[in-house]
Chains A and B, each alone.
Chain A
């Protein structure tokens, strides 16, 4: 049983159909990569899972998206608890212009009623430890997060999600602004995190998909062309279009 399942998912921006009958199963404790050329709808698909597309005017969806068995496209869906459960890491690291400490406990502050100080401190320590930032930053917790390096910022954004105990981490090209060393360290972190989280990553970078993911979906013009085990899709793609893409004939 998948953590996230889409059934005949369609999405329109006004008249433009950005997703066409997407059927997919994202499994828990695995990293699933979504690849495809620019404008193929991979970010759009990712933003369905935490309903971030709602911010765009004129979005229409039909079909079903089940997160732990519940259809999140239902009008009555509680977006606050959905987004708590399904967290998102963005392309450009976007820590808030607050201190490092405040960034980590941001979620706890908006969700919790009144949390004790030592409990907050524990949350900060654990979250920063799980993204391997604690040792570097433990003496700088009150500094502004804007002064961190890009990689540290991206880790902090992941720590922010861990602090609210998200189950699913949606990552929208999380390494595209990072240098190769930082990228490989973030990938390492992803492999570590997948034991406790379901990770879905959208990436331009096919090598990255091949390196980190267990399953891969290839999208083209709003269609999920092929969705299978990463090893299989890269060594023996079944669809001609997938093969053309991964061998670099376009994209």
Chain B
């Protein structure tokens, strides 16, 4: 009887384990099945590098280069803003902050992570967007820059908490060794602790960026959603995610437009897969 119980539980756990992979595979297969159909009308090259996205004109023009560039521009901007602040914050929490401030900061970061993206988008829309418009004298503040700034706030909690873990796991003996050689606190951080934690910090950055690439709601609200080739960070852009979210509702099922949106999904899937695998490589290199 006991043996039977063991057997059942073991198999149940096995099923749970397999289920997650199974679902991922199913989702990917479904994406592939729907998305690849689009390549009957447009070649993969023209799809990825076509400069116009007019899915409901006649005939439809299905080039997603402006969307890819939009995503890259917003992500790059968010990375430039969030990486120094996020890593700096992690260093402060892990190495500098006294006990009480550390606790306050950590719960603050957790709170930041808990803000729904639609709320961030909404706040950005009424505060940041007019600000950007006025500072740069633009016709509209709905730009890639506004999106980058808002998304930086979303990447920050991930970067801070994972980078902080990486900094904590640097053996204390390194720190002692550096201090005992007469290094100042800052020299110890810069020359020993950061290099020792570098792979974990890179993983933190990649996961933060992964979150930014996949983010939809906030970017849809504040980047202006113009599917044109962006010529500067101060121009309105549209990201891959926002395109799917905005257009899926009105695409006729089975139309080229519908299949094209699934193909956009495949592109997104591949990008976040690459980012996550890279992050994983860094994390494993650490051990």
Quick check: A160 and B181 within 8 Å, CB to CB? yes
Neighbouring A residues of B174 by C-beta, 8 Å: 94, 96-97
Quick check: B173 and A92 within 8 Å, CB to CB? yes
Quick check: B173 and A94 within 8 Å, CB to CB? yes
Chain A at the B interface: SS class: helix
Quick check: B191 and A94 within 8 Å, CB to CB? no
B187 at the A interface (CB under 8 A): yes
Quick check: A106 and B182 within 8 Å, CB to CB? no
Neighbouring A residues of B184 by C-beta, 8 Å: 80, 110
Interface contact tally, CB-CB below 8 A: 65
A190 at the B interface (CB under 8 A): no
Please report the C-alpha to C-alpha distance between residue A106 and residue B181 in the assembled complex, in whole angstroms.
9
Quick check: A90 and B177 within 8 Å, CB to CB? yes
Neighbouring B residues of A109 by C-beta, 8 Å: 191
Name the contact of B182 in the complex, choosing from A92, A94, A110 (C-beta under 8 A): A110
Neighbouring B residues of A110 by C-beta, 8 Å: 181-184, 187, 191
A142 at the B interface (CB under 8 A): no
Q: Of A12-20, A81-89, A115-123, A226-234, which binds chain B?
A: A81-89
**Interface bits A130-162 vs B (CB < 8 Å: 1, else 0):** 000000000000000000000000000100110
Please report the C-alpha to C-alpha distance between residue A98 and residue B194 in the assembled complex, in whole angstroms.
12
Quick check: B173 and A164 within 8 Å, CB to CB? no
State the interface size on chain B (CB cutoff 8 A): 17
Interface residues of B in 181-204 (CB under 8 A from A): 181-184, 187, 191-192, 195-196
Name the contact of A79 in the complex, choosing from B178, B182, B192 (C-beta under 8 A): B182
Please report the C-alpha to C-alpha distance between residue A106 and residue B183 in the assembled complex, in whole angstroms.
9
Quick check: B176 and A55 within 8 Å, CB to CB? yes
Contacts known (A106-B191, A110-B187); A83 close to B173, Cβ less than 8 A: no
Quick check: A164 and B182 within 8 Å, CB to CB? yes
Chain B at the A interface: SS class: helix
Quick check: B173 and A84 within 8 Å, CB to CB? no
Quick check: B181 and A87 within 8 Å, CB to CB? yes
Name the contact of B176 in the complex, choosing from A94, A98, A106 (C-beta under 8 A): A94
Interface residues of B in 147-177 (CB under 8 A from A): 171, 173-174, 176-177
A94 to chain B, nearest CB (A): 4
Quick check: B180 and A87 within 8 Å, CB to CB? yes
Quick check: B196 and A88 within 8 Å, CB to CB? no
Quick check: A83 and B181 within 8 Å, CB to CB? yes
B118 at the A interface (CB under 8 A): no
Q: Which residue of A lies closest to B180 (CB)?
A: A88
Quick check: B176 and A164 within 8 Å, CB to CB? no
A111 at the B interface (CB under 8 A): yes
A216 at the B interface (CB under 8 A): no
Quick check: A81 and B182 within 8 Å, CB to CB? yes
Residues in B lying within 8 Å of A, measured CB to CB: 171, 173-174, 176-184, 187, 191-192, 195-196
Given A97-B195, A110-B183, 16 additional A-B pairs, CB 8 A: A82-B182, A83-B180, A83-B182, A84-B181, A87-B180, A87-B181, A92-B173, A94-B174, A96-B191, A96-B195, A98-B195, A106-B178, A106-B183, A106-B191, A110-B187, A160-B181
Residues in A lying within 8 Å of B, measured CB to CB: 50, 52, 55, 79-84, 87-88, 90, 92, 94-98, 106-107, 109-111, 157, 160-161, 164
Instruction: Give 14 CB contacts A-B under 8 Å.
Output: A50-B180, A52-B176, A80-B182, A80-B183, A87-B181, A90-B173, A90-B180, A95-B177, A96-B174, A96-B191, A110-B183, A111-B182, A160-B177, A164-B182
